[in-house]
Chains A and B, each alone.
With several copies, the nearest count.
Chain A
Protein backbone atom coordinates (compact mmCIF):
# COMPACT_ATOMS: atom_id res chain seq x y z
CA UNK A 1 0.00 0.00 0.00
CA UNK A 2 2.94 2.24 0.72
CA UNK A 3 4.14 1.71 -2.83
CA UNK A 4 0.69 2.45 -4.23
CA UNK A 5 0.47 5.66 -2.21
CA UNK A 6 3.90 6.78 -3.32
CA UNK A 7 2.97 6.00 -6.90
CA UNK A 8 -0.23 7.97 -6.57
CA UNK A 9 1.69 10.84 -5.05
CA UNK A 10 4.00 10.96 -8.06
CA UNK A 11 1.00 11.05 -10.33
CA UNK A 12 -0.72 13.73 -8.28
CA UNK A 13 2.49 15.70 -8.58
CA UNK A 14 2.13 15.43 -12.41
CA UNK A 15 5.37 13.48 -12.68
CA UNK A 16 5.66 11.25 -15.72
CA UNK A 17 5.93 7.50 -15.18
CA UNK A 18 8.60 5.99 -17.43
CA UNK A 19 8.93 2.37 -18.67
CA UNK A 20 11.69 1.43 -16.25
CA UNK A 21 9.86 2.78 -13.22
CA UNK A 22 8.10 0.28 -11.02
CA UNK A 23 4.37 0.56 -11.39
CA UNK A 24 1.26 -1.23 -10.11
CA UNK A 25 0.41 -4.18 -12.29
CA UNK A 26 -3.14 -2.90 -12.75
CA UNK A 27 -1.74 0.38 -14.05
CA UNK A 28 0.48 -1.51 -16.48
CA UNK A 29 -2.38 -3.72 -17.59
CA UNK A 30 -4.73 -0.81 -18.12
CA UNK A 31 -2.14 1.01 -20.17
CA UNK A 32 -1.38 -2.01 -22.33
CA UNK A 33 -5.07 -2.47 -22.93
CA UNK A 34 -5.66 1.15 -23.79
CA UNK A 35 -2.55 1.84 -25.86
CA UNK A 36 -2.81 -1.38 -27.83
CA UNK A 37 -6.48 -0.75 -28.49
CA UNK A 38 -5.48 2.63 -29.79
CA UNK A 39 -2.74 1.11 -31.96
CA UNK A 40 -5.14 -1.50 -33.34
CA UNK A 41 -7.60 1.25 -34.16
CA UNK A 42 -5.01 3.06 -36.24
CA UNK A 43 -4.25 -0.10 -38.18
CA UNK A 44 -7.82 -1.22 -38.71
CA UNK A 45 -8.69 2.38 -39.52
CA UNK A 46 -6.50 2.14 -42.61
CA UNK A 47 -8.99 -0.26 -44.19
CA UNK A 48 -12.10 1.89 -44.76
CA UNK A 49 -9.90 4.65 -46.18
CA UNK A 50 -7.78 2.20 -48.13
CA UNK A 51 -11.02 1.16 -49.77
CA UNK A 52 -11.12 4.59 -51.46
CA UNK A 53 -7.47 5.09 -52.33
CA UNK A 54 -7.94 3.51 -55.73
CA UNK A 55 -10.99 5.68 -56.43
CA UNK A 56 -9.96 9.11 -55.15
CA UNK A 57 -11.34 11.66 -57.62
CA UNK A 58 -8.27 13.86 -58.07
CA UNK A 59 -4.55 13.35 -57.76
CA UNK A 60 -4.35 15.94 -55.00
CA UNK A 61 -7.01 14.13 -52.96
CA UNK A 62 -5.41 10.79 -53.65
CA UNK A 63 -2.08 12.07 -52.39
CA UNK A 64 -3.70 13.56 -49.28
CA UNK A 65 -5.48 10.28 -48.56
CA UNK A 66 -2.30 8.25 -49.00
CA UNK A 67 -0.47 10.65 -46.71
CA UNK A 68 -3.18 10.34 -44.10
CA UNK A 69 -3.11 6.54 -44.23
CA UNK A 70 0.65 6.62 -44.00
CA UNK A 71 0.38 8.75 -40.88
CA UNK A 72 -2.04 6.25 -39.39
CA UNK A 73 0.36 3.41 -40.04
CA UNK A 74 3.02 5.53 -38.38
CA UNK A 75 0.80 6.11 -35.35
CA UNK A 76 0.20 2.39 -35.15
CA UNK A 77 3.91 1.64 -35.14
CA UNK A 78 4.57 4.39 -32.63
CA UNK A 79 1.87 3.14 -30.27
CA UNK A 80 2.90 -0.50 -30.57
CA UNK A 81 6.38 0.64 -29.58
CA UNK A 82 4.99 2.49 -26.57
CA UNK A 83 3.23 -0.75 -25.64
CA UNK A 84 6.39 -2.78 -26.05
CA UNK A 85 8.08 -0.60 -23.43
CA UNK A 86 5.53 -2.12 -21.03
CA UNK A 87 6.87 -5.60 -21.72
CA UNK A 88 4.55 -7.05 -24.32
CA UNK A 89 5.58 -7.95 -27.87
CA UNK A 90 3.90 -6.62 -30.98
CA UNK A 91 3.27 -10.19 -32.12
CA UNK A 92 1.29 -10.89 -28.92
CA UNK A 93 -0.69 -7.70 -29.35
CA UNK A 94 -1.54 -8.54 -32.94
CA UNK A 95 -2.52 -12.09 -32.01
CA UNK A 96 -4.89 -10.64 -29.42
CA UNK A 97 -6.41 -8.42 -32.08
CA UNK A 98 -6.89 -11.29 -34.49
CA UNK A 99 -8.32 -13.62 -31.86
CA UNK A 100 -10.84 -10.96 -30.90
CA UNK A 101 -9.42 -10.67 -27.39
CA UNK A 102 -8.28 -7.09 -27.97
CA UNK A 103 -10.66 -4.45 -29.21
CA UNK A 104 -10.29 -1.59 -31.62
CA UNK A 105 -12.48 1.44 -32.10
CA UNK A 106 -15.92 0.32 -33.19
CA UNK A 107 -16.19 3.23 -35.56
CA UNK A 108 -14.17 1.33 -38.13
CA UNK A 109 -16.85 -1.32 -38.31
CA UNK A 110 -18.95 1.11 -40.30
CA UNK A 111 -18.37 1.09 -44.05
CA UNK A 112 -16.99 3.95 -46.13
CA UNK A 113 -19.60 4.08 -48.85
CA UNK A 114 -19.07 7.28 -50.77
CA UNK A 115 -16.28 9.75 -51.31
CA UNK A 116 -17.73 12.24 -48.84
CA UNK A 117 -17.13 9.60 -46.17
CA UNK A 118 -13.42 10.26 -46.57
CA UNK A 119 -14.06 13.84 -45.56
CA UNK A 120 -16.42 12.86 -42.78
CA UNK A 121 -13.99 10.34 -41.34
CA UNK A 122 -11.40 13.11 -41.11
CA UNK A 123 -13.78 15.66 -39.73
CA UNK A 124 -15.93 13.64 -37.31
CA UNK A 125 -13.94 10.50 -36.58
CA UNK A 126 -10.53 12.11 -36.28
CA UNK A 127 -12.25 15.03 -34.62
CA UNK A 128 -13.73 12.80 -31.93
CA UNK A 129 -10.43 10.96 -31.60
CA UNK A 130 -8.59 14.21 -31.00
CA UNK A 131 -11.14 15.27 -28.40
CA UNK A 132 -10.40 11.99 -26.62
CA UNK A 133 -6.68 12.27 -27.08
CA UNK A 134 -5.81 15.85 -26.29
CA UNK A 135 -6.16 15.21 -22.54
CA UNK A 136 -3.94 12.15 -23.04
CA UNK A 137 -1.07 14.38 -24.09
CA UNK A 138 -0.81 15.06 -20.36
CA UNK A 139 -1.42 11.45 -19.34
CA UNK A 140 0.80 10.07 -16.61
CA UNK A 141 2.68 7.46 -18.66
CA UNK A 142 5.54 9.20 -20.44
CA UNK A 143 5.80 7.27 -23.72
CA UNK A 144 2.03 7.37 -24.18
CA UNK A 145 1.91 11.07 -23.47
CA UNK A 146 4.66 11.79 -25.99
CA UNK A 147 3.03 9.57 -28.61
CA UNK A 148 -0.23 11.42 -28.11
CA UNK A 149 1.37 14.80 -28.66
CA UNK A 150 2.59 13.73 -32.06
CA UNK A 151 -0.62 11.88 -32.94
CA UNK A 152 -2.83 14.81 -32.02
CA UNK A 153 -0.80 17.19 -34.11
CA UNK A 154 -1.13 15.03 -37.19
CA UNK A 155 -4.77 14.26 -36.58
CA UNK A 156 -5.65 17.92 -36.29
CA UNK A 157 -4.23 18.27 -39.75
CA UNK A 158 -6.36 15.35 -40.96
CA UNK A 159 -9.41 16.86 -39.39
CA UNK A 160 -8.93 20.17 -41.14
CA UNK A 161 -8.29 18.35 -44.39
CA UNK A 162 -11.49 16.35 -44.02
CA UNK A 163 -13.46 19.47 -43.27
CA UNK A 164 -11.98 21.20 -46.31
CA UNK A 165 -12.92 18.20 -48.47
CA UNK A 166 -16.55 18.49 -47.37
CA UNK A 167 -16.49 22.24 -47.82
CA UNK A 168 -15.40 21.77 -51.42
CA UNK A 169 -18.09 19.19 -52.09
CA UNK A 170 -20.77 21.33 -50.44
CA UNK A 171 -19.95 24.07 -52.94
CA UNK A 172 -20.35 21.59 -55.76
CA UNK A 173 -23.19 19.80 -57.55
CA UNK A 174 -26.42 18.62 -55.98
CA UNK A 175 -25.16 15.07 -56.14
CA UNK A 176 -22.05 16.04 -54.22
CA UNK A 177 -24.12 17.79 -51.57
CA UNK A 178 -26.31 14.73 -51.25
CA UNK A 179 -23.25 12.58 -50.71
CA UNK A 180 -22.17 14.84 -47.86
CA UNK A 181 -25.56 14.82 -46.20
CA UNK A 182 -25.81 11.06 -46.62
CA UNK A 183 -22.40 10.76 -45.08
CA UNK A 184 -23.13 12.78 -41.94
CA UNK A 185 -26.41 10.90 -41.59
CA UNK A 186 -24.52 7.66 -41.36
CA UNK A 187 -21.52 8.82 -39.28
CA UNK A 188 -22.96 11.28 -36.77
CA UNK A 189 -24.25 8.85 -34.18
CA UNK A 190 -21.38 6.39 -34.47
CA UNK A 191 -19.00 9.33 -33.93
CA UNK A 192 -20.84 10.27 -30.72
CA UNK A 193 -20.50 6.69 -29.55
CA UNK A 194 -16.73 6.93 -29.90
CA UNK A 195 -16.66 8.59 -26.47
CA UNK A 196 -17.83 5.36 -24.94
CA UNK A 197 -20.77 4.57 -22.68
CA UNK A 198 -22.25 7.36 -20.64
CA UNK A 199 -20.60 7.99 -17.28
CA UNK A 200 -23.30 6.09 -15.43
CA UNK A 201 -22.31 2.90 -17.28
CA UNK A 202 -18.58 3.24 -17.70
CA UNK A 203 -16.64 0.70 -15.64
CA UNK A 204 -13.01 1.80 -15.96
CA UNK A 205 -13.40 5.48 -15.37
CA UNK A 206 -12.72 6.32 -11.73
CA UNK A 207 -9.44 4.46 -11.21
CA UNK A 208 -8.24 5.72 -14.59
CA UNK A 209 -9.07 9.26 -13.59
CA UNK A 210 -7.06 8.92 -10.41
CA UNK A 211 -4.10 7.55 -12.39
CA UNK A 212 -4.53 10.35 -14.88
CA UNK A 213 -4.73 7.82 -17.68
CA UNK A 214 -8.05 9.49 -18.26
CA UNK A 215 -8.66 13.12 -17.47
CA UNK A 216 -12.24 13.83 -18.42
CA UNK A 217 -15.35 11.72 -18.34
CA UNK A 218 -16.92 10.24 -21.48
CA UNK A 219 -19.93 12.50 -21.23
CA UNK A 220 -17.86 15.64 -20.74
CA UNK A 221 -15.81 14.89 -23.83
CA UNK A 222 -18.87 14.00 -25.85
CA UNK A 223 -20.53 17.30 -24.97
CA UNK A 224 -17.38 19.18 -25.83
CA UNK A 225 -17.27 17.44 -29.21
CA UNK A 226 -20.89 18.22 -29.96
CA UNK A 227 -20.48 21.85 -28.98
CA UNK A 228 -17.50 22.20 -31.28
CA UNK A 229 -18.94 20.24 -34.19
CA UNK A 230 -22.54 21.34 -34.56
CA UNK A 231 -21.62 24.90 -35.64
CA UNK A 232 -19.18 23.42 -38.15
CA UNK A 233 -21.94 21.26 -39.61
CA UNK A 234 -24.16 24.26 -39.91
CA UNK A 235 -21.40 26.26 -41.54
CA UNK A 236 -20.99 23.46 -44.08
CA UNK A 237 -24.70 23.59 -44.73
CA UNK A 238 -25.34 20.11 -43.39
CA UNK A 239 -28.24 19.02 -41.30
CA UNK A 240 -27.29 17.09 -38.17
CA UNK A 241 -29.44 13.94 -38.07
CA UNK A 242 -30.79 14.55 -34.58
CA UNK A 243 -34.27 16.08 -34.28
CA UNK A 244 -33.67 16.78 -30.57
CA UNK A 245 -30.56 18.84 -31.16
CA UNK A 246 -31.07 22.31 -29.75
CA UNK A 247 -28.89 25.05 -28.36
CA UNK A 248 -29.49 25.51 -24.69
CA UNK A 249 -29.12 29.22 -23.91
CA UNK A 250 -28.91 28.56 -20.20
CA UNK A 251 -26.11 26.02 -20.18
CA UNK A 252 -24.42 27.33 -23.29
CA UNK A 253 -24.30 23.76 -24.62
CA UNK A 254 -26.07 21.89 -27.38
CA UNK A 255 -28.68 19.48 -26.01
CA UNK A 256 -28.93 16.31 -28.02
CA UNK A 257 -31.13 13.25 -28.40
CA UNK A 258 -30.76 9.79 -26.91
CA UNK A 259 -27.96 7.62 -28.19
CA UNK A 260 -28.94 4.15 -29.35
CA UNK A 261 -26.80 2.19 -26.92
CA UNK A 262 -28.18 -1.10 -28.19
CA UNK A 263 -26.45 -0.42 -31.47
CA UNK A 264 -23.25 0.48 -29.64
CA UNK A 265 -23.26 -2.75 -27.64
CA UNK A 266 -24.13 -4.73 -30.72
CA UNK A 267 -21.21 -3.37 -32.72
CA UNK A 268 -18.80 -3.84 -29.83
CA UNK A 269 -19.96 -7.43 -29.64
CA UNK A 270 -18.84 -7.97 -33.21
CA UNK A 271 -22.07 -7.36 -35.04
CA UNK A 272 -21.19 -4.17 -36.87
CA UNK A 273 -21.55 -4.01 -40.62
CA UNK A 274 -17.87 -4.59 -41.17
CA UNK A 275 -16.54 -6.32 -38.04
CA UNK A 276 -16.07 -9.64 -39.79
CA UNK A 277 -14.73 -8.09 -42.96
CA UNK A 278 -12.18 -5.95 -41.12
CA UNK A 279 -10.86 -8.88 -39.12
CA UNK A 280 -10.88 -11.10 -42.19
CA UNK A 281 -8.83 -8.50 -44.07
CA UNK A 282 -6.36 -8.06 -41.22
CA UNK A 283 -5.97 -11.78 -40.63
CA UNK A 284 -5.57 -12.40 -44.37
CA UNK A 285 -2.89 -9.70 -44.59
CA UNK A 286 -1.09 -11.29 -41.66
CA UNK A 287 -1.36 -14.85 -42.97
CA UNK A 288 -0.53 -13.96 -46.56
CA UNK A 289 2.49 -12.09 -45.27
CA UNK A 290 3.77 -14.89 -43.05
CA UNK A 291 6.23 -16.08 -45.68
CA UNK A 292 7.62 -12.54 -45.94
CA UNK A 293 8.19 -12.21 -42.22
CA UNK A 294 9.73 -15.69 -42.06
CA UNK A 295 12.04 -14.84 -44.92
CA UNK A 296 13.13 -11.63 -43.20
CA UNK A 297 13.92 -13.58 -40.02
CA UNK A 298 15.76 -16.30 -41.92
CA UNK A 299 17.80 -13.71 -43.77
CA UNK A 300 18.64 -11.84 -40.59
CA UNK A 301 19.70 -15.08 -38.92
CA UNK A 302 22.02 -15.92 -41.83
CA UNK A 303 23.60 -12.48 -41.62
CA UNK A 304 23.92 -12.72 -37.86
CA UNK A 305 25.58 -16.12 -37.89
CA UNK A 306 28.82 -15.21 -39.75
CA UNK A 307 29.03 -12.01 -37.76
CA UNK A 308 28.72 -13.85 -34.47
CA UNK A 309 31.33 -16.34 -35.65
CA UNK A 310 33.64 -13.50 -36.59
CA UNK A 311 33.17 -11.87 -33.22
CA UNK A 312 33.76 -15.13 -31.37
CA UNK A 313 37.01 -15.62 -33.30
CA UNK A 314 38.39 -12.28 -32.22
Chain B
Protein backbone atom coordinates (compact mmCIF):
# COMPACT_ATOMS: atom_id res chain seq x y z
CA UNK B 1 0.00 0.00 0.00
CA UNK B 2 2.78 2.42 0.86
CA UNK B 3 4.27 1.76 -2.57
CA UNK B 4 0.99 2.72 -4.19
CA UNK B 5 0.68 5.80 -2.00
CA UNK B 6 4.22 6.85 -2.92
CA UNK B 7 3.42 6.56 -6.63
CA UNK B 8 0.18 8.42 -6.19
CA UNK B 9 1.80 11.29 -4.33
CA UNK B 10 4.60 11.55 -6.88
CA UNK B 11 2.09 11.72 -9.73
CA UNK B 12 0.31 14.61 -8.10
CA UNK B 13 3.58 16.31 -7.22
CA UNK B 14 4.91 15.92 -10.76
CA UNK B 15 1.77 17.57 -12.12
CA UNK B 16 2.23 20.58 -9.91
CA UNK B 17 5.97 20.95 -10.35
CA UNK B 18 5.83 20.75 -14.13
CA UNK B 19 2.90 23.11 -14.48
CA UNK B 20 4.60 25.49 -12.08
CA UNK B 21 7.71 25.33 -14.25
CA UNK B 22 5.75 26.17 -17.38
CA UNK B 23 4.08 29.15 -15.71
CA UNK B 24 7.49 30.29 -14.48
CA UNK B 25 8.65 30.48 -18.10
CA UNK B 26 6.26 33.41 -18.54
CA UNK B 27 8.11 35.48 -15.92
CA UNK B 28 8.42 39.03 -17.21
CA UNK B 29 6.87 38.24 -20.59
CA UNK B 30 3.12 38.54 -19.96
CA UNK B 31 0.80 40.98 -21.70
CA UNK B 32 0.54 43.19 -18.63
CA UNK B 33 2.06 43.31 -15.20
CA UNK B 34 -1.10 42.15 -13.50
CA UNK B 35 -0.78 38.92 -15.44
CA UNK B 36 2.92 38.60 -14.70
CA UNK B 37 2.01 38.81 -11.05
CA UNK B 38 -0.96 36.46 -11.37
CA UNK B 39 0.97 33.74 -13.20
CA UNK B 40 3.89 34.01 -10.82
CA UNK B 41 1.43 33.68 -8.00
CA UNK B 42 -0.15 30.54 -9.42
CA UNK B 43 3.27 29.11 -10.15
CA UNK B 44 4.22 29.75 -6.55
CA UNK B 45 1.10 28.06 -5.18
CA UNK B 46 1.81 25.02 -7.31
CA UNK B 47 5.40 24.81 -6.12
CA UNK B 48 4.13 24.91 -2.57
CA UNK B 49 1.81 22.00 -3.34
CA UNK B 50 4.66 20.16 -5.01
CA UNK B 51 6.87 20.58 -1.96
CA UNK B 52 4.19 19.24 0.36
CA UNK B 53 3.49 16.30 -1.89
CA UNK B 54 7.12 15.37 -2.56
CA UNK B 55 8.02 15.68 1.10
CA UNK B 56 5.19 13.43 2.10
CA UNK B 57 6.09 11.00 -0.70
CA UNK B 58 9.69 10.92 0.51
CA UNK B 59 8.46 10.19 4.02
CA UNK B 60 6.21 7.38 2.78
CA UNK B 61 9.04 5.94 0.73
CA UNK B 62 11.33 5.94 3.74
CA UNK B 63 14.56 5.78 1.78
CA UNK B 64 15.94 9.07 2.95
CA UNK B 65 15.22 10.99 -0.23
CA UNK B 66 13.92 14.54 0.04
CA UNK B 67 11.71 16.79 -2.08
CA UNK B 68 14.62 18.00 -4.19
CA UNK B 69 15.96 14.55 -4.94
CA UNK B 70 12.53 13.56 -6.15
CA UNK B 71 12.12 16.67 -8.27
CA UNK B 72 15.62 17.11 -9.64
CA UNK B 73 17.14 13.66 -9.86
CA UNK B 74 14.58 11.57 -11.68
CA UNK B 75 14.70 11.26 -15.44
CA UNK B 76 12.01 11.92 -17.99
CA UNK B 77 10.65 8.36 -17.97
CA UNK B 78 10.34 8.45 -14.20
CA UNK B 79 8.20 11.59 -14.28
CA UNK B 80 4.56 10.61 -14.10
CA UNK B 81 2.80 13.93 -14.61
CA UNK B 82 -0.21 14.35 -16.87
CA UNK B 83 0.80 15.08 -20.44
CA UNK B 84 -1.54 18.07 -20.33
CA UNK B 85 0.59 20.04 -17.91
CA UNK B 86 3.86 19.59 -19.82
CA UNK B 87 2.49 21.11 -23.02
CA UNK B 88 4.36 24.29 -24.00
CA UNK B 89 2.86 27.62 -23.05
CA UNK B 90 1.99 28.73 -26.57
CA UNK B 91 0.27 32.09 -26.42
CA UNK B 92 -1.57 33.43 -23.38
CA UNK B 93 -4.81 31.84 -24.60
CA UNK B 94 -3.31 28.39 -24.69
CA UNK B 95 -1.75 28.90 -21.26
CA UNK B 96 -5.15 29.86 -19.88
CA UNK B 97 -6.78 26.90 -21.63
CA UNK B 98 -4.30 24.53 -20.02
CA UNK B 99 -4.91 26.11 -16.63
CA UNK B 100 -8.67 25.93 -17.04
CA UNK B 101 -8.72 22.28 -18.10
CA UNK B 102 -6.44 21.28 -15.23
CA UNK B 103 -7.87 23.47 -12.46
CA UNK B 104 -11.46 22.54 -13.29
CA UNK B 105 -10.46 19.01 -12.41
CA UNK B 106 -8.27 19.81 -9.43
CA UNK B 107 -10.82 21.92 -7.58
CA UNK B 108 -13.35 19.10 -7.04
CA UNK B 109 -10.39 16.76 -6.64
CA UNK B 110 -8.96 18.62 -3.66
CA UNK B 111 -12.46 19.22 -2.28
CA UNK B 112 -13.02 15.49 -2.22
CA UNK B 113 -9.51 14.84 -0.94
CA UNK B 114 -10.21 16.92 2.15
CA UNK B 115 -12.21 13.91 3.35
CA UNK B 116 -9.42 11.43 2.63
CA UNK B 117 -8.70 8.89 5.32
CA UNK B 118 -5.07 9.89 4.93
CA UNK B 119 -4.81 12.84 7.26
CA UNK B 120 -1.74 14.31 5.68
CA UNK B 121 -3.26 14.23 2.23
CA UNK B 122 -6.41 15.76 3.65
CA UNK B 123 -4.36 18.58 5.13
CA UNK B 124 -2.51 19.19 1.87
CA UNK B 125 -5.89 19.21 0.14
CA UNK B 126 -7.33 21.80 2.48
CA UNK B 127 -4.60 24.25 1.58
CA UNK B 128 -4.59 23.40 -2.13
CA UNK B 129 -8.33 23.70 -2.43
CA UNK B 130 -8.25 27.38 -1.52
CA UNK B 131 -5.46 28.05 -3.97
CA UNK B 132 -7.05 26.18 -6.85
CA UNK B 133 -10.31 28.02 -6.32
CA UNK B 134 -8.45 31.15 -7.31
CA UNK B 135 -6.55 29.45 -10.16
CA UNK B 136 -9.80 28.23 -11.65
CA UNK B 137 -11.53 31.56 -11.31
CA UNK B 138 -8.60 33.33 -12.92
CA UNK B 139 -8.43 30.92 -15.85
CA UNK B 140 -12.19 30.90 -16.30
CA UNK B 141 -12.39 34.68 -16.33
CA UNK B 142 -9.70 34.92 -18.97
CA UNK B 143 -11.24 32.17 -21.05
CA UNK B 144 -14.51 34.08 -21.06
CA UNK B 145 -12.86 37.43 -21.69
CA UNK B 146 -10.77 36.11 -24.57
CA UNK B 147 -13.50 33.88 -25.98
CA UNK B 148 -15.99 36.74 -25.97
CA UNK B 149 -13.47 39.50 -26.71
CA UNK B 150 -12.29 40.22 -30.26
CA UNK B 151 -12.47 37.88 -33.26
CA UNK B 152 -8.73 37.29 -32.92
CA UNK B 153 -8.88 36.47 -29.24
CA UNK B 154 -11.85 34.20 -29.88
CA UNK B 155 -9.91 32.32 -32.54
CA UNK B 156 -6.81 31.97 -30.39
CA UNK B 157 -8.73 30.86 -27.32
CA UNK B 158 -10.64 28.28 -29.33
CA UNK B 159 -7.36 27.00 -30.79
CA UNK B 160 -5.88 26.69 -27.31
CA UNK B 161 -8.82 24.60 -26.12
CA UNK B 162 -8.85 22.52 -29.30
CA UNK B 163 -5.15 21.74 -29.19
CA UNK B 164 -5.23 20.60 -25.60
CA UNK B 165 -8.49 18.72 -25.62
CA UNK B 166 -6.96 15.37 -26.50
CA UNK B 167 -4.92 15.50 -23.30
CA UNK B 168 -7.95 15.82 -21.01
CA UNK B 169 -8.87 12.13 -21.17
CA UNK B 170 -5.87 11.37 -19.02
CA UNK B 171 -7.42 13.29 -16.12
CA UNK B 172 -9.89 10.42 -15.71
CA UNK B 173 -7.61 7.45 -16.18
CA UNK B 174 -7.03 5.23 -13.22
CA UNK B 175 -4.92 2.13 -12.84
CA UNK B 176 -4.29 -0.46 -10.13
CA UNK B 177 -2.17 2.03 -8.17
CA UNK B 178 -5.15 4.25 -7.71
CA UNK B 179 -7.79 1.58 -7.45
CA UNK B 180 -6.29 0.15 -4.29
CA UNK B 181 -6.03 3.58 -2.73
CA UNK B 182 -9.57 4.48 -3.74
CA UNK B 183 -10.87 1.35 -2.10
CA UNK B 184 -8.96 2.27 1.03
CA UNK B 185 -10.62 5.68 1.08
CA UNK B 186 -7.31 7.45 0.52
CA UNK B 187 -7.41 8.44 -3.14
CA UNK B 188 -10.20 9.99 -5.17
CA UNK B 189 -11.89 8.12 -7.98
CA UNK B 190 -11.40 10.47 -10.95
CA UNK B 191 -14.55 9.11 -12.55
CA UNK B 192 -16.54 10.61 -9.68
CA UNK B 193 -15.27 14.07 -10.68
CA UNK B 194 -16.22 13.86 -14.33
CA UNK B 195 -19.63 15.41 -13.81
CA UNK B 196 -18.23 18.42 -11.98
CA UNK B 197 -15.45 18.88 -14.53
CA UNK B 198 -17.86 18.65 -17.47
CA UNK B 199 -20.21 21.17 -15.88
CA UNK B 200 -17.48 23.69 -15.18
CA UNK B 201 -16.03 23.40 -18.66
CA UNK B 202 -19.46 23.57 -20.33
CA UNK B 203 -20.42 26.63 -18.35
CA UNK B 204 -17.16 28.47 -18.98
CA UNK B 205 -17.07 27.63 -22.67
CA UNK B 206 -20.67 28.64 -23.12
CA UNK B 207 -20.13 31.99 -21.45
CA UNK B 208 -16.96 32.36 -23.53
CA UNK B 209 -18.97 31.70 -26.73
CA UNK B 210 -16.52 28.87 -27.45
CA UNK B 211 -17.26 25.44 -28.85
CA UNK B 212 -16.60 22.40 -26.74
CA UNK B 213 -14.38 20.17 -28.91
CA UNK B 214 -15.73 16.75 -29.76
CA UNK B 215 -14.41 13.94 -27.65
CA UNK B 216 -12.17 12.00 -29.98
CA UNK B 217 -9.12 9.96 -29.34
CA UNK B 218 -7.50 10.78 -26.04
CA UNK B 219 -3.78 10.80 -25.51
CA UNK B 220 -2.54 9.06 -22.35
CA UNK B 221 0.82 7.79 -21.15
CA UNK B 222 2.10 10.38 -18.69
CA UNK B 223 1.15 8.33 -15.65
CA UNK B 224 3.47 5.61 -16.96
CA UNK B 225 6.23 8.01 -17.89
CA UNK B 226 5.57 8.03 -21.63
CA UNK B 227 5.51 11.70 -22.44
CA UNK B 228 5.51 14.05 -25.38
CA UNK B 229 8.87 15.27 -26.61
CA UNK B 230 8.37 18.57 -24.77
CA UNK B 231 9.04 17.28 -21.27
CA UNK B 232 12.69 16.39 -21.88
CA UNK B 233 13.62 19.93 -22.83
CA UNK B 234 11.80 21.34 -19.81
CA UNK B 235 13.69 18.94 -17.55
CA UNK B 236 17.08 19.81 -19.00
CA UNK B 237 16.53 23.43 -18.00
CA UNK B 238 14.83 22.57 -14.70
CA UNK B 239 17.41 20.04 -13.51
CA UNK B 240 20.57 21.52 -15.01
CA UNK B 241 22.22 22.91 -11.88
CA UNK B 242 21.52 19.84 -9.75
CA UNK B 243 22.89 17.66 -12.52
CA UNK B 244 25.95 19.82 -13.20
CA UNK B 245 26.91 20.23 -9.54
CA UNK B 246 25.84 17.05 -7.79
CA UNK B 247 25.59 16.72 -4.01
CA UNK B 248 25.66 20.43 -3.27
CA UNK B 249 23.59 22.35 -0.77
CA UNK B 250 21.93 25.41 -2.26
Contact = CB atoms under 8 A, between A and B. Distances in A.
User: Most chain-A CB neighbours within 10 Å: which of B40, B43, B76, B248?
Assistant: B40
Given A46-B36, A59-B51, A113-B229, A296 B28 contact: no
A271 B241 contact: no
Interface in A257-314: 266, 269, 271, 273-274, 276-277, 281, 284-286, 288-296, 298-299, 302
Contacts of A57: 72, 241-242, 245, 248, 250
A289 B26 CA distance: 12
Contacts of A24: none
Given A69-B40, A292-B92, A58 B68 contact: yes
Contact of A47 (B28, B75, B163, B166): B28
B229 A111 contact: yes
B54 A59 contact: yes
Contacts of B47: 59, 62-63, 66
Interface in B122-177: 144-146, 148-150, 152-153, 156, 163, 166
A268 to B, nearest CB: 12
A182 interface: yes
A302 B156 CA distance: 19
Contacts of B44: 63, 66-67, 70
A50 B76 contact: no
A295 B145 contact: yes
Contacts of B146: 292, 295, 299
A146 interface: no
Contacts of A29: none
A280 B237 CA distance: 22
A201 to B, nearest CB: 21
B189 interface: no
Interface stretch (A6-14, A164-172, A212-220): A164-172
A104 to B, nearest CB: 13
B213 interface: no
A50 B241 CA distance: 16
A111 B228 contact: yes
A99 interface: no
Contacts, number: 182
User: Most chain-B CB neighbours within 10 Å: which of A50, A295, A298?
Assistant: A295
B5 to A, nearest CB: 20
B33 A113 contact: no
Nearest to A60: B51
Bin the interface of chain B by size: 35 or more
Contacts of B198: none
User: Most chain-B CB neighbours within 10 Å: which of A113, A171, A290?
Assistant: A113
Contacts of A302: 148
B31 A69 contact: no
A114 B76 contact: yes
Interface stretch (A73-81, A190-198, A203-211, A247-255): A73-81
A113 B224 CA distance: 13
Contacts of B76: 113-114
Given A291-B153, A295-B150, A296-B149, A271 B37 contact: no
B92 A77 contact: no
A166 to B, nearest CB: 11
A20 interface: no
B40 A55 contact: no
A76 B32 contact: no
Nearest to B156: A291
A61 interface: yes
A182 B153 contact: no
Contacts of B219: 271, 273
B185 interface: no
Contacts of A67: 44
B27 A296 contact: no
A168 B228 contact: no
A58 B41 CA distance: 18
A2 interface: no
A111 B227 contact: yes
Interface stretch (B17-25, B104-112, B113-121): B17-25
Nearest to A48: B229
Contacts of A269: 217
Contacts of B72: 57-58
A54 interface: yes
User: Most chain-B CB neighbours within 10 Å: which of A59, A113, A165?
Assistant: A59
21 contacts: A43-B28, A46-B27, A53-B25, A54-B237, A55-B232, A55-B238, A57-B72, A58-B250, A59-B17, A59-B68, A73-B37, A74-B37, A77-B37, A113-B76, A271-B219, A273-B219, A285-B31, A295-B153, A298-B150, A299-B144, A299-B145
Interface of A: 43, 46-51, 53-63, 66-67, 69-70, 73-74, 76-77, 80, 111-115, 165, 168-169, 171-173, 175-176, 182, 186, 266, 269, 271, 273-274, 276-277, 281, 284-286, 288-296, 298-299, 302
Given A58-B68, A291-B152, 15 more contacts: A54-B234, A57-B248, A59-B54, A70-B40, A73-B40, A111-B227, A176-B248, A271-B219, A273-B226, A277-B229, A285-B29, A288-B29, A288-B91, A289-B92, A293-B31
